[in-house]
Structure 1
Amino acid sequence: MTDTENFRPRDGRTRLVVHFGGHKTGSSAIQETLHAANDPKNGFLLLFAGHPNSSAMMQNAFLRPEKLLSIRASEATRADLPAMRDGARRHLRRIILEGIETCPRGTLILSAESISSFVPEEAEAMVAFFQDLPVDPEFIGYIREPATYLRSSFQEILKLRMPLNPVFDPTGCTVLPLEHHAIVGILDRCVGPDRVQAHVYDRAGFPEGSVVRHFLSALGIDSGALSPLESNEGMSRLGVKLIYTYRRLGACPFANRGPRRLEHRFSEDLGRLPDVPFELHPEVLDQTRAVNREIFDWAGRRLGRPFPRAKGQIRDRDPQRGGSAALQRRGSGESLGPCGRFRGFRRGSFPRSRGGGRGPVPDPADLPVIRPGAGQSTKPRGRGNRRNGGEG
């Protein structure tokens, strides 16, 4: 939906726009641009909870205990969770009430892509919380085409040592059905589809190619005076090779063990190395589309338009066989590396050293990144597979 007339506040309440992401749809660019221009004179006020991205606060406030504990296990025990939840909700209530006082007739914006992973119980708790405040909540977010979402998620796995959502079967690297669109249906049931704007993430169709400008125009806010900031750009193929090698060095000093902030900065620097853009192998792309076929039908019905056709789509699909001719070649011995020229990955191709670590590391050019069906997990090795909040 794009008709902003349906999103006027009701009963004199202050308008609260909740941006739910989703992951890998320019959320960081939206957050950083809004934070840089955070002034009611610009027609909005970004609710700031110590960071433009409120994902960690929303997780602490509304996630189910077992789910929250899996994320915060390094910093909290189960006994700490009630106090963590109550503290996050008090903080959220305070910044909303302060926002109303500062900008009573404007638009309050809360951005947290962690909401895109909420299950119904968590979303219902969030909506009930908002309904107890003098705000009229509405929701807006973007959904990415499955194959390009998987490509971005794989890069995030490499950079941050854990997936945002499961995208591969860890036993065989086969693509799993994605659920990155499920939050739209959950919110539709909580508040009604007339209060949920869900858009296809397609930079080619956005004003000036900017998701920030599209986001503000969808809310009826003039974006002319703002300078959109770009964030979390995709990695080059060389960057992916090098960071994949780095993640494989589990026994090497500092590999996968450094402070989270330093690790992230290092991976970002690797990702900026110049080379052609990273792309998944066409067979992986085709498998992704085959496994997630129903999402394409759903997009046309709920988002009002189909996903854009991504490059690399294999055309020789046989719908009667549920796949493509390329997928039938699996096991033929040809390389399935995403860049088309990598040797196949086999167990034991990294010999063990006497000290228990891995032995000589091959040249990065010879390393595969994904080989479907090779029986090798894409989850990065090393310690610290937890994140504090979402980053998109």
Structure 2
Amino acid sequence: MRYCIIHFGMHKTGSTSIQQTLANSLGSSTFQYITLDNSHPRFSNHSHDLSIAFESNPFKTKAARIMGLSHDEVLARRKIIRNKIIQNFNKASVDSFIFSAEDLCHWKEKDLLSFKKFLEDQNCRFLCVGYVRSPKSFMESVFQEQLKAGILNKADLPLKTITIYPHYQWRFEKFGKVFGWDNVRFWLFNSENFHNGCVVQDFCSRLKIPLYKNNIIRRNQSLSKEAISLLYAYCLYGNNYDLSKLTMKEKHKIAYKLYNLRGDKFYFSSSLIKPILSHHQKDIIWMEEKLGFSLKEDLVIHDNTAIKGEKELLKFSPKATYWLAEQLGIKYVKSWHDSMDIEQVANWMHLLRVKLLNH
């Protein structure tokens, strides 16, 4: 019988690092990381392909939209991916396999059942695993990821924090219902408790997956609060500068440049977070009972520098705007001043975007 590890994230828990490390350098004679795309054999996140292969309405999936697939192309892709999984099983010299797809958390229960039945038909048993991140740190991380992706709207910041709350029971209960709770493992996402302080090593250690430490790939760094302020001004207040229309590669170019702007870590204020956690207390308790650990965080420890609302996000430090001027050249350094307004910052960010994408 085959053994399938189904890694479902959650989002913002080091999944990209885990996926890319296992896809590119899994030095194991006992485990195989599933490969689903012949044209991109090292494409490591299975979310898009599994969505097309097993969701009940694959034509409406994010994957089909992003890939620009027609109705017939979706049907063909669905068949190709299912066959590709079977080929992975049949050609492997091992009997243990790893799937990794954070978007499984967003599937409907009936779609997970379809995936489970497919695996059972291939004589597979399974273990579903994932890390669980505390709500405040999760929301802080998701906020900046959505900002980098250009998908934030001109909305009141407190309202935005409400929409990115993790909704644990909605996200995870389906795995227990479909696969059985005996086949589901939740792990607390806390770097202080990770094996050697590394989520990739921790993941492999828990599952007894052999790993060469020198091959670990780390992805998705955090932006500083100063960098987030510049990007926020650009995304929400730049005239007709729609980041959402850029390709993923173009968005990454901008983000990688902003990683170089060092500064304070980005935190939400307790005044933003406390009402949200209070509203979702039952959901948090449900998750803590399944996890076996508390998700409690110190909400006030960073309040002196934390973001209370849009006003703080649009307060640009002279260090940040001078850094921006330096990226554009001597002309902008000479015209820089320490009290630049939102429109000027947004315009300069657009010039940086144009410069980066033209090189």
Scaled to the shorter chain, the TM-score interval is: 0.7 to 0.9
Partner of 2:134 in structure 1? 145
**Which residue of structure 2 aligns with residue 104 of structure 1?**
94
Distance 1:273 1:292 in 2: 35
**Match of 2:252, SS?**
helix
2-side partners of 1:61 and 1:31: how far apart? 19
- Distance in 2, Cα, partners of 1:143 & 1:314: 22
The match for 1:54 is: 46
Q: Corresponding residue for 1:24?
A: 12
The AA in structure 2 aligned to 1:150 is M
Tell whether the 8 Å contact from 2:48 to 2:63 is kept in structure 1 after alignment. Answer: no
Distance 1:169 1:249 in 2: 13
* C-alpha distance after superposition, 1:91-121 (max 9, x if no partner): 243234334432333x211111111111212
After TM superposition, give the deviation of residue 256 of structure 1 in Å: 5.0
Q: Distance in 2 between matches of 1:339 and 1:205?
A: 36
The alignment's TM-score, normalised by the length of structure 2, stands at 0.75
Q: Deviations over 1:332-370 (max 9, x none)?
A: xxx933795867xxxxxxxxxxxxxxxx734659xxxxx
Tell me if structure 1 keeps the 8 A contact 2:27–2:211.
Answer: no
1:248 equivalent in structure 2: 236
Q: Which residue of structure 1 lines up, in the alignment, with residue 151 of structure 2?
A: 162
Q: 1:18 to 1:70 in 2, by over 3 A?
A: closer
In the aligned structure 2, how far is the partner of 1:36 from the partner of 1:278? 31
Matched, 1:175 2:162: yes
Decide whether aligned partners of structure 1 residues 238 and 54 sit closer, same or farther in structure 2, where only a CA change above 3 A counts. Answer: same
2:115 to 126, 143, 149: 126
Residue pair 2:138, 2:166 contacting (<8 A) in 1 also: no
Q: Which has the higher contact order (CA 8 A, sep 6+)?
A: 1
Number of the residue aligned with 1:93: 83
Counterpart of 2:268 in structure 1 is: 280
The 3 A distance-change label for structure 1 pair 189 and 74 is: closer
- Name the SS for the 1:25 alignment partner: coil
Q: How far is the alpha carbon of 1:263 from its aligned partner?
A: 2.1
CA shift in 2, pair 1:218/1:182, >3 Å? farther
How far does the alpha carbon of each residue in 1:186-239 deviate from its partner, in whole angstroms, 9 at most, with x for none?
011111111111112111111122111121122122446554322102110111
What does residue 318 of structure 2 align with? Answer: none
Q: CA deviation at 1:143?
A: 1.5
Q: Is the 8 A contact 1:336 1:342 kept in 2?
A: no
Partner of residue 342, structure 2: 361
Equivalent position SS for 1:267: helix
Partner of 2:106: 117
| Partner Cα distance (1:99, 1:169) in 2 | 49
Seen in structure 2, the aligned counterparts of structure 1 residues 271 and 57 have a Cα distance that, compared at 3 Å, is same
Change in Cα spacing, 1:340 to 1:109, as seen in structure 2 (3 Å) is same
Paired position in structure 2 for 1:84: 74
Match of 2:57 among 65, 88, 100: 65
1:44-98 deviation per Cα after TM superposition (whole angstroms, max 9, x unaligned): 2111223111111012122342882566446557xx4465145234324323433
- Aligned twin of 2:187: 199
Taking the aligned partners of 2:227 and 2:65, their CA distance within structure 1 comes to: 31
Query: What's the counterpart of residue 335 of structure 2?
Result: none
Q: Distance in 1 between matches of 2:80 and 2:58?
A: 21
Matched, 1:232 2:224: no
Q: What are the within-5 Å matches in structure 2 for residues 337-356 of structure 1?
A: 337=309
- C-alpha distance 218-240 of structure 1, shift in aligned 2 (>3 A): same
Partner of 1:351: none
SS of 1:122's partner is helix
CA distance in 1 between counterparts of 2:238 and 2:311 reads 24
Q: Partner residue of 2:256?
A: 268
Letter in 2 for 1:104: V
Are the equivalent residues in 1 in contact too, given 2:238–2:343 (CA < 8 A)?
no
Structure 2: distance between partners of 1:81 and 1:200: 40
Question: Which ranges in structure 1 are unaligned for 5 or more consecutive residues?
Answer: 1-12, 316-334, 344-359, 366-392
- Root-mean-square deviation (Å): 3.3
Tell me the secondary structure at the aligned position of residue 138 of structure 1: strand
After TM superposition, give the deviation of residue 248 of structure 1 in Å. Answer: 2.8
Please give the alpha-carbon distance, in whole angstroms, between the structure 2 residues aligned to 1:126 and 1:218: 24
Q: CA deviation at 1:154?
A: 0.4
